[in-house]
Amino acid sequence: MIKMFFKHLYTILGGENIHMQGYIMETNLVVEGVKFMLLGMGAVFLFLALMIVCMNILAAVTHKYFPEPRREESSTPKSTNQNDQKKIVAAITAAIMHHRQS
């Protein structure tokens, strides 16, 4: 059984003909199919790698000539932010009291 398996494996990879139920199957087609599969996968891999390299170059050029504007620190003191928080809390409290009264 194992000997037969290796014989068929050898014939598939080696290019010999296999006789199955009166038909001759050329195993060169299997080898050619694997070659085309690897060629296609290699072409897709190379295309994707080239696309990534081009996108990185484009990003570098874009950032060089069109830099993002930097955010400047606001000149308002932090106490203004605390006053805003107090106003928000007061508004929420007033809304809750109005809801409970109606």
**Percent of the chain scoring above 70 in pLDDT:** 67
pLDDT digits (tens, 9 = 90+) for 15-57: 555 555 555 555 578 888 899 999 999 999 999 999 999 999 9
pLDDT digits (tens, 9 = 90+) for 56-87: 999 999 999 998 888 776 665 566 778 888 89
H or E element that contains 53: helix 28-65
Going by C-alpha positions, the residue among 1, 33, 32, 27 that lies closest to residue 13 is 27
First to last CA, the chain: 88
74, 77, 80, 81: CA torsion to nearest 10: 60
Going by C-alpha positions, the residue among 22, 27, 34, 24 that lies closest to residue 11 is 27
pTM of the model: 0.44
**Residue ranges covered by each domain of the chain:** 2-66
Q: Report pLDDT for 7.
A: 67
Q: Tokens standing for 84?
A: 């805003």
Return the SS3 of 26.
Answer: strand
Q: Tokens standing for 62?
A: 């874009």
Q: Report pLDDT for 44.
A: 97
Average pLDDT of the segment spanning 2-15: 64
